[in-house]
Amino acid sequence: MLGSLHTLSKFKLLGFEGDWLWQQLECPCLGEHLSIGVQLGFAVILFVQFVLKCIVQISDYLRGGRKTTDQASENRLIGRNLSGFYKASVACTIFLCVIHVLMFFALLYGIGSRCRAEISVFSSEIIHVVAWGVAVVAVCGIVRNKSVKYPWLLRGWWICSFFLAIIRVALYEKFGDGNQVRAYTYAQLVCFLPLIFLLALSVYGKTGVVFVVHNGLADPLLHENCSENEEDKRDSAYERATLLQLVTFSWLNPLFALGYERRLEHEDIPDVCRNDSAKFVSNAFTEKLDFVMKKNGGVDASIYKAIYLFCRKKAAINAGLAVLSAALSYVGPYLIDDFVNFLTEKKGRSLSSGYLLALAFLSAKVIETIAQRQWIFEARRLGIHLRGALASHIYKKGIRLSSRSRQSHTSGEIINYMSVDIERITDFAWYLNMIWMLPVQISLAIYILYTNLGLGSLGAIATTLIIMSCNIPLTKVLKDYQKKIMEAKDNRMKATSEVLRNMKILKLQAWDHQYLQKIESLRKVEHDWLWKSSKLTAFTAFLFWGSPTLISLVTFGLCTLLGIELTAGKVISALATFQMLQDPIFSLPDVLSAFIQGKVSVDRVASFLQVDEIQQDAIVYVPKDQTEFDIEIENGIFSWTPESVNPSLDQINLKVKRGMKVAICGTVGSGKSSLLSCILGEIEKLSGTVKISGTKAYVPQSPWILSGNIKENILFGNEYEHTKYNRTITACALTKDLELFPCGDLTEIGERGINMSGGQKQRIQIARAVYQDADIYLLDDPFSAVDAHTGTQLFKDCLMGALNEKTIIYVTHQVEFLPAADLILVMQNGRIVQVGGFEELLKQNFGFEALVGAHNQALESILSVEHSSRISQVQKREEELNGDSITNADPLNSKIEQNNSTQPMMEKKGKLIQEEERKKGSIGKEVYLSYMTRINGGIFVPIIVLAHTLFQALQIASNYWMTWACPTTSETEPKVGMNIMLLVYFLLAVGSSLGLLLRSLLLAVIGLQTAQKFFKDMLYSIFHAPMAFFDTTPTGRILNRASGDQSTLDLAMAVKLGWCAFSVIRLLGTIVVMSQVAWEVFAILVPVTAACIWYQHYYTPTAREVGRLAGIHQAPILHHYAESLAGATTIRAFNHEDRFFSTNLRLIDAFSKTWFYNNSVMEWLYFRLNALSHFVFAFSLALLVSLPEGTIDPGNAGLAISYGINLNWLQASVIWNICSAQRKIISVERILQYSKIKSEAPLVIEDCRPPSNWPQEGSITFKNLQIRYADHLPDVLKDISCVIPGKKKVGVVGRTGCGKSTLIQAIFRIVEPRGGSIVIDNVDICKIGLHDLRSRLSIIPQDPLLFEGTVRGNLDPLEQYSDQEIWEALDKCQLGGLVREKEMRLNSPVVENGENWSVGQRQLFCLGRALLKQSNILVLDEASASVDSATDSIIQGIIRQEFENQTVITIAHRIHTVIDSDLVLVLSDGRIAEFDSPGKLLERDDSFFSKLVKEYSMRSQGLNSLKEH
């Protein structure tokens, strides 16, 4: 480019005198010379291509591979369909070859050319004949090569031939001298028609030939291959586009036409092309990682090297286009002085030289625009590649994390990797090109300044270097700030994610306000760092926006000192250069900031991708025919924390034969679940061997349910088989549940199974395992969450029925399920201390006897109550027992309820999780107003606009002043002295700088305050939302707003809206300057502006909807990732990693295509707006050249041109900033959606506060209570009416899903009554505040949840109790000894979800909370389901002792926990079936409770007999 500028310099020195270029055009052999040059160029390219092809073929041959030939033999061409276009192209090419042969013979007879140089004439025509002969061979060879596109070299030749023909005809007509030349011209004209056709084909590119190929592979594989090919087919408009469509982005026209006609849906947007798909880029990135790792000798691969190798080719092409664009942008400032000189000396210069100058201006701008739009577009595509590659690898890493790595990387952190960090890395892919552009821009600016100002340019160089050197300390400080911001954001997102997962327990315990303050405090830390960063950013904005003025002051001052003459042309050229120099200087902090953010993000992602994964060699898989054992562990030592002195499992030796039933029992924390984990390969193996023979299925202790319907959860990616499916449903006791569900097995399950009871979730995941038809089943306490009848049925029909021939290892605390086992393992302190059958272990008088003894004691208490209450024994028919509503049969009333309630729901198609809300139509002005007026009613907005207007007006005034004060030529006297000129310029510069400083500070301050206000509004709205909102809203949607959308408000929203106003002000200033010089510009400016407005109006509907679709298609990626992380153990156990990874790739593609088209539609608009602005600029130049001398002042004209050079950029900038603001404002719109959630009842109602000692008695009265979870769902509780006396113990029993947990939620007002009331101690709970209600009650929930933090923090988050009280509570709940063994005692860590504590221990922690709180009403919701019988017995004793004078409501599936209650409430299908004392209920043999007790007491004997059968 410097060479071209040097040529222009020579051109300038000539001053166009004698019209040098036009003299060259007078050469009679110009056409021949051009033809020879072009054709020789093509010959060289053809030769190089031939040599490269030969080298490739030779290298293939040397590698020994006639693979190509062999493959060709397998793929035989069995047919082809030649299109009409292809046939016509062959005919046209042959015709043109014949014409040139005839023209050659004509030359032999002296007919044809005006050129007298015979060598040039004959050489030109001979090369033409040869070239067209080669073209004929190439066209005919397309069929042989089975090509669907014309070769690019052939297409280039056709295009060049067309333009060469036009040039030669024009020259022959102008300089022809007779009939002979005219005959030659006629021959050229004859060639025009085929050349035009070939030109169109070269642009289109495709031959239209269809080839039918037979693959020699075996027929059975043919269908599978075809299926894969069908899957790879993508409807990509971009991939089908021709060269012209790619340049003009017209391949987007169909999408715009559809978007303008109606609202776009996701299906309307075409797919990304294959090379942009997540699968393709993920595989490509994996190859680069493997290559780098192999090069490093198997050590961890450098992510930086892999990213470099992955991006380098595309990045190099983008860099070339970016450098070309940057270089061409300086052609205008370089030629301004020439243009001013032309206008000054118009009398002595021809108009042709002026028009040639205008053409140079315009040509540079056109090529610059094409190069600029392409590099920006391709940079965005590169961003898609990086996003797809990194997101897929982060996902793949996430589901392979080891347990230790999982504890050190929480869900919130990983979500930030997926949302924030990847976004910053893709942004850097765009900023990367500016790194190559900066040195080119600065070098060309210095060259132009030196050409115009000589040594005066040293001032500009020095000032530029000083300003840019300021970036060194600023960059360091910004980098530190960015790290702190990301750390603070990680902590906030970690806490937010944990709170959202556990929102139900927070509301039950009345801790929501406490955790709200915790998130606010974390946000304050983040806000403080954002505030520091914003202040520094405002200062850098002031510094770099004011840099052109500062540079010009120093430069002009130095020129004055050195005596360098300043003319209007030189000053205007220098000012234009300073403005152009502003771009690299202004971009530098953005580039450095993006570089810093990108590096920090790459480091974070690289660190995550290199953490430990689960051991791949922990398990040895043995074929079935080589062993009789399905599971074999020898001398196994395993540990969750390898650095710990005491391993989690020690000296494990186990052999399980095929088909055996193995039970594992032991006290809480003895290592039962860890033993299953070592079989799964989840726990780190320190020594020993684990051998597995067969496929595995796993049922975890805490149910893991995917969002979707019940059927999808059971099938779990397998094909649907009707018989097998129904058999699974029956075996898992789900028949009755599916009949009661509104849409059967198509009923949708909420996030984490939120709308299912614990027993239903457990049975669904058992059904998932059964349907897999695996060889080995690992069941972790599968009966803890189900009632006695359902547990018995599950054991009989599922474990001993459907899975009778399978190998099963099951953990259980329920001794009645042990006798049927072939082998029982007793765990204690991580060791297997006893092994044997049930009877054998009883004789050993060791730990097992204690477990069985506790169970027998509980059983005896049941039998004694049953015996003492028995009045008569009446035999009932067996079918009557089977007709019990607590079993799997249908009572009459449930059928009636089902018939009445399911019809409306069928219309809803079982939907619980609704599609994410997407606003329709244009973004309402209320969204903009809401953002701008959020702080002080928007009073600062006009001040910011006025400050920038002042800055812009004073800048224009200073430029006018310099143009007016400087002479137009060296002979003209200056109008004022140099000192006065610089003084006035300095004062104007200071005034503009003050306006700029005010604008920068206000924008930073108000922008961050507004973001903070939006955050608080959304946070309070979410925390006060009813539980139904969290049941139906995936956590990913909320986290996406709290993470990505909030980051947009923190860092970008104010800047984007500000730039809308600033760019409009700059554009208006440019128009004023241009129109002041030549008002005639308005003649073209008005219609062009109208066209721009129309284009923007046409563009907006499509861009808006694509932007919204892009916004809502990122949340599913995060949601799917969060679910996969939670169920990673199950996914690995079922060996479904590949299926989940494929789902992740599909979700990435769904987002990528919206993101790709979101950026592409902007480029479509920019290209058209730039084209229109070039038209205005060309008209202005032609007008200035054409106006008579003296009509305009040359200096002012030069100033107008200096502003007009940037017209295309300014015009595009206005639209770009408006469109960018429209895309960013979607984040405001989305946050506003969650800032206006319908709130639950007030936390405190001052007029209706209960007494401080309420509830004193603890009596609870239910009056006609009706509960439903949503308006479109049926009632869950129906007309519940009863009175629970104060200080009584009440047991609540019933079949799983009958409404027990819903009753508890109603007491805590988690679900508001649809009808009826609940009165506690004469206070209607619906009339008091929620905090007053929930803080006075205690609950031990069904799902034991712990928060990340410490033991103390989990027991006493409100810090209300002393250490002594906490220790007493720990001792009472059997955790005191365990916590004392920990090094940090009460400050011992609790990781996310409490995963470093067993489920049983977590339940004991929840008991400890209740013991500390000592409320007069205590609710136990399956409080001891996950503990052994001995521990359960101790817990029940503690509860009886500690809560002797309190009302205790117990939901339990273990009958002995409710048998000694004062009252028993039996629920069936949401109604009260029975409510009386246990003794009275047992007096009636036909009572539900009596049947339940009988079933439980007979279960041990019945289950023990199963083994004998």
**CA-to-CA separations, 1146 to 279, 298, 1061, 1114, 1117, in angstroms, rounded:** 9, 31, 40, 12, 9
Per mean pLDDT, which range of 319-323, 914-918, 1016-1020 is the poorest?
914-918
Report yes or no: 1429 and 814 within 8 Å, Cβ to Cβ. Answer: yes
- Dmax over CA atoms of the chain, in Å, equals 135
pLDDT at position 1062 is 85
Which residues are 1262's β-sheet partners? 1282, 1318
Element (H, E) at 1467: strand 1463-1468
Report yes or no: 119 and 224 within 8 Å, Cβ to Cβ. Answer: no
Cα 231 from chain centre: 23
| Cα–Cα dist 971/202, whole Å | 56
| Cα–Cα dist 1369/1390, whole Å | 18
**CA-to-CA separations, 1112 to 915, 923, 1117, in angstroms, rounded:** 9, 15, 10
Q: Is the pLDDT reported for residue 835 higher than 80?
A: yes
Average pLDDT value for residue range 31-48: 68
Q: What is the DSSP letter of 664?
A: E
Q: Is the pLDDT reported for residue 53 higher than 60?
A: yes
Torsion angles phi and psi, residue 824, rounded to 5? -120, 130
* Listed residue (690, 691, 614, 688) closest to 650, CA to CA: 688
Element (H, E) at 1389: strand 1389-1390
**Which distant-in-sequence residues (6+ apart) come within 8 Å of 1263 by Cβ?**
1281, 1316, 1317, 1318, 1319
pTM above 0.75, yes or no: no
pLDDT at position 724 is 92
In this prediction, residue 72 has a pLDDT band, given cuts at 50, 70 and 90, of very low
Report yes or no: 649 and 686 within 8 Å, Cβ to Cβ. Answer: no
| Cα–Cα dist 1189/1127, whole Å | 81
In this prediction, residue 1017 has a pLDDT band, given cuts at 50, 70 and 90, of very high
Cα 817 from chain centre: 47
Report yes or no: 903 and 1208 within 8 Å, Cβ to Cβ. Answer: no
Six-digit token string for 597: 């953010």
Report yes or no: 1346 and 1397 within 8 Å, Cβ to Cβ. Answer: yes
Question: pLDDT tens for residues 723-745?
Answer: 999 999 999 988 888 887 778 88
| Cα–Cα dist 720/1028, whole Å | 32
Question: pLDDT tens for residues 1442-1484?
Answer: 888 889 898 876 677 777 788 989 888 888 988 988 888 888 8
**CA-to-CA separations, 1313 to 1139, 1278, 1473, in angstroms, rounded:** 42, 11, 20
Element (H, E) at 749: strand 748-749
pLDDT at position 857 is 54
**CA-to-CA separations, 646 to 651, 676, 827, in angstroms, rounded:** 12, 19, 16
Q: Are strands 1289-1294 and 1277-1284 parallel, antiparallel or unpaired?
A: unpaired
pLDDT at position 50 is 63
| Cα–Cα dist 739/899, whole Å | 10
The 3-state DSSP class for residue 453 equals: helix
pLDDT at position 524 is 93
Q: Are strands 1447-1451 and 1417-1421 parallel, antiparallel or unpaired?
A: parallel
Q: Is the pLDDT reported for residue 779 higher than 80?
A: yes
**What is the amino acid identity at position 808?**
I
pLDDT at position 697 is 93
Q: Is the pLDDT reported for residue 463 higher than 50?
A: yes
| Cα–Cα dist 1421/1342, whole Å | 5
**Which distant-in-sequence residues (6+ apart) come within 8 Å of 189 by Cβ?**
169
* Listed residue (1256, 1254, 1253, 1304) closest to 1276, CA to CA: 1304
Torsion angles phi and psi, residue 1346, rounded to 5? -120, 150
Tokens 């850097």 belong to which residue?
428
Percent of the chain with pLDDT over 90: 10
| Cα–Cα dist 167/1288, whole Å | 106
| Cα–Cα dist 540/1499, whole Å | 78
Question: pLDDT tens for residues 569-624?
Answer: 777 778 777 777 766 766 776 777 778 778 888 888 888 888 888 888 889 999 98
pLDDT at position 1394 is 80
Report yes or no: 1031 and 1269 within 8 Å, Cβ to Cβ. Answer: yes
**What is the amino acid identity at position 124?**
S
Question: pLDDT tens for residues 1244-1263?
Answer: 888 888 888 888 888 999 99
Per mean pLDDT, which range of 270-274, 389-393, 1029-1033 is the poorest?
1029-1033
Q: Is the pLDDT reported for residue 1503 higher than 60?
A: no
| Cα–Cα dist 450/458, whole Å | 8
Q: How many residues does the chain have?
A: 1509
Six-digit token string for 218: 């075996």
Element (H, E) at 699: strand 696-699
| Cα–Cα dist 141/155, whole Å | 14
Q: Which of 178-192, 540-554, 613-627 is most confident?
A: 613-627
Report yes or no: 711 and 677 within 8 Å, Cβ to Cβ. Answer: no
**What is the amino acid identity at position 823?**
L
pLDDT at position 538 is 82
In this prediction, residue 678 has a pLDDT band, given cuts at 50, 70 and 90, of very high
* Listed residue (1151, 1128, 1152) closest to 1140, CA to CA: 1128
| Cα–Cα dist 1041/1354, whole Å | 28
pLDDT at position 1498 is 66
Cα 744 from chain centre: 33
pLDDT at position 234 is 55
Report yes or no: 685 and 678 within 8 Å, Cβ to Cβ. Answer: yes
| Cα–Cα dist 1479/1495, whole Å | 17
Average pLDDT value for residue range 535-553: 78
Which residues are 824's β-sheet partners? 663, 836
Tokens 């070592």 belong to which residue?
678
Give CA angle at 282 (279, 283), nearest 5°.
85
Torsion angles phi and psi, residue 649, rounded to 5? -130, 135
Tally the C-alpha atoms within 13 A of residue 822's C-alpha that lie toward its C-beta.
Answer: 17
Which residues are 1464's β-sheet partners? 1291, 1476
Task: Give the end-to-end CA distance of the chain in Å, rounded to a whole number.
Answer: 92
3-state SS, 247-314, equals: HHCHHHHHHHHHHHHCCCCHHHCCCCCHHHCHHHHHHHHHHHHHHHHHHCCCCCCCHHHHHHHHHHHH
Per mean pLDDT, which range of 375-384, 853-862, 933-942 is the poorest?
853-862
Q: Is the pLDDT reported for residue 246 higher than 70?
A: yes
Element (H, E) at 708: strand 708-709
Q: What is the DSSP letter of 1455?
A: G
Q: Are strands 1315-1320 and 1323-1324 parallel, antiparallel or unpaired?
A: antiparallel
Torsion angles phi and psi, residue 158, rounded to 5? -60, -45
pLDDT at position 536 is 85
**What sign does the CA torsion over 973, 975, 978, 981 have?**
negative
Six-digit token string for 114: 């005006």
pLDDT at position 1219 is 73
* Listed residue (1294, 1339, 1253) closest to 1452, CA to CA: 1294
In this prediction, residue 490 has a pLDDT band, given cuts at 50, 70 and 90, of confident
pLDDT at position 528 is 92
Q: Is the pLDDT reported for residue 361 higher than 70?
A: yes
Six-digit token string for 541: 């904005």
Report yes or no: 833 and 664 within 8 Å, Cβ to Cβ. Answer: no
Question: pLDDT tens for residues 106-118?
Answer: 776 665 555 655 6
Give CA angle at 805 (800, 810), nearest 5°.
55
